[in-house]
Amino acid sequence: MSQNLITAGVIDPRQIPLDQIRQQVASFLKIPLQQIEHIECWQHQIWVKLVESRAKFISYRSLPLWIDQGLTTILRCTNRPELDRIGEILRAERDWYEENEMPQAVQPWREAWAKQAQQLREEDERLQPFRAHQQAGVEWYAAWERILRCCQDCAGLKHLAPEIQRQSQEFIDLPDVTEAMQRLWSDRWKELSEAIA
């Protein structure tokens, strides 16, 4: 089942300022603000009581704030899977606008989504070498962890220290990896020292 911005938890109508809703409802209905006697924000629509008239229901989608909320959501996406998920939700939203003969209303979403997708792609390409370096650091640590576990005495451990120190220079820009390696070596030294005592 397709989701919309509310059912997906992207928009919470209770978080939208009532004054903003009131002004946009008045603009949508082409009436002065004073003509609105009472307004209630329900989960999926707005109930509007007009002065000396009946109440009306208005869809949130009829108001500019809905498009604005969608734009804000697109711009908050920090990774491609998240952006793709929002894209699926916005496709369902687009259907509503097309059924109500307002397809141009979602054009800002299309443009923002394409721009955000491009920025995320460029960011991913820019970070790819660093991620590869991080992965190499993790693999280097894991390999030494296996080696140090096989080491059976402090003399052998001490013999490995200069090589570990030399290799760790390659990962000096990854303090998590180098600090973890120092802790690993120290912990293993302590284990072997206590085993002898």
Tokens (6 digits) for 67: 């498009």
pLDDT at 116: 96
The reply to whether the predicted model has a pTM over 0.85 is no
Tens of pLDDT along 151-192? 889 898 999 999 999 999 999 999 999 999 999 999 999 998
pLDDT tens per residue across span 109-148 = 999 999 999 999 999 899 899 989 999 999 999 999 999 9
Position 141 scores a pLDDT of 95
Q: 40 has which bridge partners?
A: 47
Give the pLDDT confidence of 90-112 residue by residue, as tens digits.
988 888 888 888 888 889 999 99
* Cβ contact 147:160 at 8 Å: yes
Residues 6+ apart with CB under 8 A from 53: none
Q: For residues 93 and 111, what is the distance between their CA atoms, to the nearest angstrom?
A: 15
pLDDT (tens digit per residue) in 14-44 = 888 999 999 999 999 999 999 999 999 998 8
Q: Tell the burial category of 137 from Cβ atoms under 10 Å away from its Cβ (0-12, 13-18, 19+).
A: buried
Distance between CA atoms of residues 152 and 143, nearest Å: 17
- pLDDT top residue among 144 and 6: 144
Average confidence score pLDDT of the chain: 91
The pLDDT value recorded for residue 110 is: 92
Q: How confident is the model at residue 7 (pLDDT cuts 50, 70, 90)?
A: confident
The residue behind tokens 């570990």 is: 164
DSSP assignment of 76-120 equals H--SHHHHHHHHHHHHHHHHHHHHTT-GGGGHHHHHHHHHHHHHH
Identify whether the C-beta of residue 21 lies closer than 8 Å to the C-beta of residue 41. yes
